Amino acid sequence: MTTPPSTPAPSSPSSPPCIAVLGSLNMDLVLQVQRAPGAGETVLAQGLHYVPGGKGGNQAVACARQGAQVHLLGRVGNDANGATLRAELERDGIDHSAVLTDPEAPTGLAAITVEASGQNRIVVVPGANARFTLDAPALQSLQALMAQASALVMQLESPMPQVLAAAQCAHSAGRRVVFNPSPIQPLPEALLPLVDVLVVNEVEAAALAGTAVATPAQAAQAAQALRAQGPQQVVVTLGAAGAVAADADGSRYHPGRKVQAVDTTAAGDTFLGALTVALAEGQSLDAAVREGIRASALCVTQAGAQPSIPTRAAVAQSPLPPDWSPL
């Protein structure tokens, strides 16, 4: 298996990997409905829940619950939601000293409808997330963190210029950059060459590769096309169907585990967290993908974003997914 050029920080075999996450923090307003309304239609909800979320927060929690030492960089408002999100991060042992408090903008908010089938629809109000900046002091802190971190994890619920600056910082330090371009948007040409591990779903893969992604074979073609843009390792997640892993050795299809889905919110973030920790511990890409599938399969059986993210112990007790096969 090809090893990315980025080098994890030295650590003893017994010490947990240190992972930095840059990203969003939202309070999720989760509406449970039998089905989502159509245009102009009103439906009744069976319940309303306030749940900690945001892709940055979710991925930080996913890494922490798989045993990593996690440092989160982000921004919340000076409000009750921001205080609640910080308290929840502390419960998972996540260092949030680099999460700044915005004096004007409110904490980010996400309105999520969850259907009885488990499918969700999400609308995000960025709030303070949109005002996150890597100013000179923050950049110095990130540079110091990169001296000990194994990887930097990012998504796109933070401003693109800040994501690019953080990727440049981690790449210059020789650290693995794990990137999930969600929500999908045009990427600057300079970004993907800085990425070591690109994790995309079918929609994101199709948008970035410019090709249909409906089958594992098509996912493999898209993954190899994306590898040509810079990342050495690309993983295309296929929901319940599993995932495709691609690197210099070719492409492999990893079938998913069959479970009864309750809520798919945070499944992708859970997958990425388990994958990142496994890679940071020195596991192969295929072994890391299997851990991601196991963790995300557990995630979708529970409601809510962060409450549904499983611990390492729970993942270790869950069944293994079917064996992977070459494509």
Active site residues: 269
- What six digits make up the tokens of 36? 């989502």
User: What Rg, from alpha-carbon coordinates, does the chain have?
Assistant: 18
15-43 burial, b if ≥16 CB within 10 A, otherwise e?
A: ebbbbbbbbbbbbbbbbbbeeeeeeeeee
Q: Which long-range contacts (CB under 8 A, 24 or more apart) does 306-309 make?
A: 306/51, 306/52, 306/53, 306/57, 306/58, 306/61, 306/88, 306/266, 307/51, 307/52, 308/263, 308/265, 308/266, 308/270, 309/58, 309/61, 309/62, 309/65, 309/266, 309/269, 309/270, 309/273
Yes or no: say if 309 and 58 are a contact pair by the CB < 8 Å rule: yes
Residue 176's closest CA among 19, 2, 67, 23? 19
